[in-house]
Amino acid sequence: MHKSEAYGGSHRAWVWRDSADPLQLTLEDIDIPTLTSHEVLVRNAVIALNPVDWKVLTPGLVNWQPGHVPGVDGSGTVIAVGDKVPQSWLGQRVAYHQSLNKPGSFAQYTPVEQRALMRIPDALDFATAASFPCPGLTAWLALEKLPPRQNAPLLISGAGGAVGHYLVQLAVARGFSVTAMCNPRHWDRLRAMGVSHCMAGPLADGAALPGHAVDHFYALIDSVDEDHAARLAPTLQANGHLVSVQGRLENWPNAPFGRTLSLHEVALGALHEFGYDAAWRRLTDRGEQMLRELASQRLTPLTTVIEDFSGLAQLLERLRDRQFSGKPLIQISEASL
């Protein structure tokens, strides 16, 4: 292993103790993980919190043992590299999305596979970079499911959220005519990013679709849940595409040889488990391009809520209970350790 700076054998980390309650995470001193030959060690500067971070705390959802460090998104500096990682990575400022099955970002240090790293442009701060990986890369993967078609009508359901924030910008840039379904409080922001039309949503239980939306859209990307995606299926034209970000449709939403829809699901975890190096390079290359676009203000970043490392569990609980708006971030400072 090659190192760019000295560090001790232990670090501060938030640890899972077999409870679904974020407030049951404990801040502990634990050993810094040993690197494999293809990993780097990132000294975290900022940690981003995502809905998946509280969802997976439920025992049994992921094959965790008590003592696991959660967290998927972070940004920081590479301070050590494994034997098969080029030493040129030492000292690089990076953002990453970590596998749920490996020690996570809720810590001072996180071991990350080299192939999952994205270099941060000098002009971009750690906070904006940390806020990007999960929602930004998910949005890109969702759009990659759709064959491009200029001016094709695209419905983005849940457009007011973090994934929707990037979906709207990427879809407009690709030439889709975007309709956003979300709470009206988001409409002005989304229209400023190029949305053509807005619809109130998500649909209330039992609510009917607006008549003008039936059989209207070339594609639908839903980030609410699988039931909501299925209920929106009648908005699609024949041979349309339904992309589900939150939850997988258990049943086909139309009769055989009816609308002849194509169904798609999106999850970054698929690459962690089944991805190969070329697929990772394609993802991280696009991620680095989007980070450059954030640095040059060609992409609009998420608004953020930043708390200290010592308040991570409380902020994760507030995220679960939807007690604020904005992307929750955790700043690691010496005073918090």
Q: Is residue 189 a part of any domain in this protein?
A: yes
Based on the fold, state whether residues 9 and 97 are members of the same structural domain. yes
Query: What is the CA 166 to chain-centroid distance, rounded?
Result: 10
Q: Is residue 141 a part of any domain in this protein?
A: no
DSSP string covering 206-263: TPPPPGGGTT-EEEEEE-S-HHHHHHHGGGEEEEEEEEESSS--SS-SS-TTSS--EE
Residue the block writes with tokens 């490392």? 309
CA dihedral (59, 65, 66, 71) positive or negative: negative
Provide, rounded to the nearest whole percent, the portion of the chain with pLDDT above 90: 90
d(CA 119, CA 281) in angstroms, rounded, equals 12
Indicate yes or no: pTM above 0.75.
Answer: yes
Based on the fold, state whether residues 153 and 69 are members of the same structural domain. no
Residues 156/171, Cβ–Cβ less than 8 Å: yes
Based on the fold, state whether residues 92 and 44 are members of the same structural domain. yes
Q: 132 to each of 153, 167, 291, how far by Cα in Å?
A: 26, 12, 8
Structure confidence by residue, pLDDT tens digits, 104-153: 999 999 999 999 999 999 999 999 999 999 999 999 999 999 999 999 99
Q: Is residue 248 a part of any domain in this protein?
A: yes
CA dihedral (332, 335, 336, 337) positive or negative: positive
Number of continuous H segments (helices) and E segments (strands) in the chain: 9, 16
Can you give the pLDDT at residue 29?
Answer: 97
Structure confidence by residue, pLDDT tens digits, 274-285: 999 999 999 999
Based on the fold, state whether residues 181 and 286 are members of the same structural domain. no
Average pLDDT in the 230-248 region? 95
Can you give the pLDDT at residue 215?
Answer: 86
Average pLDDT in the 251-271 region? 93
Residue 336, pLDDT above cutoff 80: no
Can you give the pLDDT at residue 274?
Answer: 94
User: What CATH number corresponds to the domain at position 161?
Assistant: 3.40.50.720
Domain-terminating residue out of 214, 237, 263: 263
Based on the fold, state whether residues 19 and 69 are members of the same structural domain. yes
Based on the fold, state whether residues 122 and 164 are members of the same structural domain. no
Average pLDDT in the 312-326 region? 96
pLDDT band at 337 (very low <50, low <70, confident <90, very high): low
Based on the fold, state whether residues 165 and 79 are members of the same structural domain. no
Q: Is residue 140 a part of any domain in this protein?
A: no
Average pLDDT in the 166-188 region? 97
For residue 243 the two structure tokens come to: 């992309």
The total of structural domains in the chain comes to 2
Based on the fold, state whether residues 281 and 238 are members of the same structural domain. no
pLDDT band at 267 (very low <50, low <70, confident <90, very high): very high
Residues 148/175, Cβ–Cβ less than 8 Å: yes
Q: Is residue 195 a part of any domain in this protein?
A: yes
Average pLDDT in the 8-33 region? 96
Q: Identify the DSSP state of 133.
A: H
Based on the fold, state whether residues 196 and 254 are members of the same structural domain. yes
For residue 200 the two structure tokens come to: 């109130």
User: What CATH number corresponds to the domain at position 113?
Assistant: 3.90.180.10
Residue 296, pLDDT above cutoff 90: yes
Can you give the pLDDT at residue 8?
Answer: 64
pLDDT, averaged across the chain: 95
- Cβ-Cβ contacts under 8 Å for 115 (sequence gap 6 or more): 38, 277, 280, 281, 284
Based on the fold, state whether residues 214 and 161 are members of the same structural domain. yes
Element (H or E) spanning 95, and its range? strand 93-97
Domain that holds residue 66: 2-134+270-336
Can you give the pLDDT at residue 278?
Answer: 96
Based on the fold, state whether residues 128 and 275 are members of the same structural domain. yes
Residue 102, pLDDT above cutoff 90: yes
Domain-terminating residue out of 218, 247, 263: 263
Q: Identify the DSSP state of 204.
A: P
Q: Specify which residues 181 forms β-bridges with.
A: 157, 199
How many residues in total does the chain contain? 337
Q: Which of 198, 160, 163 is nearest to 177 (CA)?
A: 198
Q: Is residue 207 a part of any domain in this protein?
A: yes
Based on the fold, state whether residues 63 and 179 are members of the same structural domain. no
Residue 333, pLDDT above cutoff 90: no
Strands annotated E in 108-266: 109-113, 117-119, 153-157, 177-182, 197-200, 217-222, 236-244, 262-265
